[in-house]
Amino acid sequence: MKKETNQPGGVTLTMPPWLEKTSAIRNRIVITDPEERMRWVIGVSRQNVECASGGPFAAAVFERESGRLLGVGVNRVEPLNASPAHAEIMAMLFAQQMAKTFDLGAVGAGSELVTSSQPCLMCLGAVLWSGVTRLTYGATAGDVTSILGFDEGPLPRGWQLELNKRGITVAGEYLRADAVAVLELYKKNRGTIYNGRGGSGEGKA
Amino acid sequence: MKKETNQPGGVTLTMPPWLEKTSAIRNRIVITDPEERMRWVIGVSRQNVECASGGPFAAAVFERESGRLLGVGVNRVEPLNASPAHAEIMAMLFAQQMAKTFDLGAVGAGSELVTSSQPCLMCLGAVLWSGVTRLTYGATAGDVTSILGFDEGPLPRGWQLELNKRGITVAGEYLRADAVAVLELYKKNRGTIYNGRGGSGEGKA
């Protein structure tokens, strides 16, 4: 996978060129149906695998009522040498730049994070800080671990309830089979498993 | 607090100008004593409050044996409109750029994340992906919540053990009183509490 370098003084987290084109038209993308939002996100995750531009994950932030896309992200850990560059983090960063606020709850009638796989521990925490008021995921953390060996971290028991308590609704396993198919494709393509030191992935030292 | 804007196509996470000078000499900073590493990091967190360039938190990644500084970060949530821009995330991103790898465990004899306050849920998850093999913190999550009202998220019970299981040692409450004094200063200065929608901070809508 091609490595990209950053200028000193700042770290720039970029989308792959094929997705930049999509990002450029984000003002015009509107998807009102929840399942269609997920279908689009899973399509982006598949393209990230097919283009070998990162891990098999994509996420996007939509305005809940209007369905306007605020930001989209794909996993960029390996090409950017940036372990925090998960799809959800990228989508939230781009959406917050677009909305010019660190609080995505202040946008329209609130916003939704749609992610092709259930968030890992880091991204779960990031959801709490982001201001989104709804989380929708496709594949489960169990799928991610069992198919690819990623260590998703010690997810707190009752994590959905913890989100609910903070005003965030959760809907899971939307188009799960389609999301799982992308994980399987990444496995077939022998994609890198970029676990930390203690993870159980086959790609680690 | 001055807002900064980003170019389209990428999100650039920058350090404040006063810290860029420090970053510029990161190749030459070596701190071998663990307590001195923390003292330096807490000093950076204090300067972030005094300069009103972000939240009252700083973090840095050091090569464990040599003590060479690989990356330093401060909280930049508000000035960058980026909820994931916590000090730990910033420090890890900069260190990974410096080391040209997403795995900070591959650097020298391993690396250490030193953070002025115990990581929140997001940053705890980020530590697991980063490859660092040691985590040292100053103030506790309880300090951060009780003094400032930040919602640190549902930290898993036995989180230190979860890190240990993954090959990461944890040392806590280094110079805690000094770290707490910076939190108190932020409170006195009426710094923004940038919780998500469901947090209990006074600064939220």
Residue range B117-164, pLDDT digits in tens: 999 999 999 999 999 999 999 999 999 999 999 999 999 989 999 999
Q: Give the pLDDT band of residue B197 (cuts 50, 70, 90).
A: low
**What is the rounded distance in angstroms from the CA atom of residue A185 to the CA atom of residue B17?**
44
Q: Which residues contact B57 (CB under 8 A, 6 or more apart)?
A: B45, B48, B74, B75, B86, B87, B88, B115, B116, B117
8 Å CB contact of A8 and B15: no
pTM, whole model, 2 decimals?
0.93
Question: What are the chain B neighbours of A153 within 8 Å (beta carbons)?
Answer: 124-125, 128, 162
Q: Are A82 and B97 a contacting pair at CB < 8 A? A: yes
- pLDDT tens, chain A, 205 aa long: 444 444 457 899 999 989 887 765 656 789 999 999 999 999 999 999 999 999 999 999 999 999 999 999 999 999 999 999 999 999 999 999 999 999 999 988 899 999 999 999 999 999 999 999 999 999 999 999 999 999 999 999 899 999 999 999 999 999 999 999 999 999 999 899 988 765 444 333 3
Rg (C-alpha) for chain B, rounded Å, is: 16
For residue B155, report the phi and psi dihedrals to the nearest 5 degrees: -60, 130
Which two three-digit tokens encode residue B52? 């009103």
**Chains A and B: how many Cβ contacts under 8 Å?**
220
Look at residue A26 and give its three-state secondary structure. Answer: coil
Which of B121, B124, B160, B170 to mutate to test binding with chain A, by most A CBs within 10 Å of its CB?
B121
| CA dist., res. B185 & res. A14, Å (int) | 35
Nearest-CA distance A5 → chain B (Å): 8
In angstroms, the separation between the Cα of residue A165 and the nearest Cα of chain B is 7
Q: What's residue A107's pLDDT?
A: 87
Does A24 contact B6 at a Cβ distance shorter than 8 Å?
no
Cα of B56 to nearest chain A Cα, Å: 16
**ipTM value for the complex:** 0.92
Per-residue pLDDT, B4: 46
- With beta carbons under 8 A apart, name residues in chain B contacting A74: none
Q: Are B125 and A120 in contact (CB under 8 A)?
A: yes
| Burial A152-180, CB ≥16 within 10 A → b, else e | bbbbbeebbebbeebbbebeeebbbebbb
